[in-house]
Amino acid sequence: MIFAGCHLSNSAGYVAMVETAKSIGANTCAFFTRNPRGSKAKPEDPADCARAMELLKEYEFGPLVAHGAYTMNLCTAEESARDFAASVLCDDLRRMAYLPGNFYNFHPGSHVGQGTQQGIEYIVKALKKALEPQYPVTVLLESMAGKGSEIGGRFEELKAILDGVGDDSVGVCLDSCHIHDGGYDIVNDLDGVLAEFDRVVGLHRLKALHLNDSKNPYESHKDRHELLGQGHLGTETFRAIVNHPYLKTLPMILETPNELPGYAKEIALLRSMEE
Ligand code: FE
Ligand code: FE
Ligand code: ZN
């Protein structure tokens, strides 16, 4: 049985979020740790988190995949803004300790003209500091489409960050729309792309998936998500993913343009494709 879910709101608390996930046939989900387009975060409610952890066990959920704010750019140009982003990352990991054992995924960042090398150095520095307290959370770098000065569009860039951090527990979340737009042909050669990921990064570092179709063609570097089967990836790509011996063990998070009923349908679609 695959772990399939989607992005859900945690604004009514984590118990409510887990119950919503269950009600749409999900057995994992993603949520933003704070306002995705800002930096505000609600204080955590330890009792709600503890009860949610019990429900996750009772309902046999796979790991949740929290998502850092889009505004958190660890390699932005200005030092004070960079320091602020780094402090947001530290605080996110501290808050994730209320939901121990789950995943926290974030966009590595955009170097905004300073160059990939410099950007990677800043990301590594911030991550090393945030990992120091050793909170019980697995941190994941999201693979990006390589839009603008985004870092993480190439497997080599993800690998450089992982090596710089030097902590084996840090992993990767592959986003199907991003890697396709970024120039990895998972439509025609999923096995070849995974072999390349294994060669560069190591398949054991792959801990979660974002499943999105793409509005744009291969290598467009655009990053616009489409409903499953209605974009340039197509249904068969997702069928291959849910039946791949390694990928099918990972939490799969939908970030498609949907409300809850649409997500319920796509989760059911993924489950129906399991052989
Ligand atoms: Fe993302
Ligand atoms: Fe994503
Ligand atoms: Zn995206």
Mean pLDDT of 72-86: 97
89-145 residue pLDDT tens: 999 999 999 999 999 999 999 999 999 999 999 999 999 999 999 999 999 999 999
Place of tokens 């080599």: 156
CB-neighbour burial class of residue 183 (10 A; exposed 0-12, middle 13-18, buried 19+) = middle
Measure 69 CA to ligand 1 centroid, in angstroms.
Answer: 9
Give the contacts of 116 (CB within 8 A, at least 6 positions apart).
151, 157
CATH no. of 3-273: 3.20.20.150
146-186 residue pLDDT tens: 999 999 999 999 999 999 999 999 999 999 999 999 999 99
Measure 224 CA to ligand 3 centroid, in angstroms.
Answer: 6
Domain-wise residue ranges, the chain: 3-273
Structure tokens at 234: 């197509």
Measure 142 CA to ligand 2 centroid, in angstroms.
Answer: 7
Measure 147 CA to ligand 3 centroid, in angstroms.
Answer: 10
Instruction: Report how far residue 256's alpha carbon sits from residue 212's, in angstroms, rounded to the nearest whole number.
Output: 6
Give the ligand at the shortest distance from the Cα of 68.
1
184-205 residue pLDDT tens: 999 999 999 999 999 999 999 9
pLDDT at 38 over 90: no
Give the ligand at the shortest distance from the Cα of 72.
1
0.85 cut: is pTM over it? yes
Distances (CA, A) of 16 to 8, 21, 47, 105: 10, 9, 13, 21
Measure 177 CA to ligand 3 centroid, in angstroms.
Answer: 7
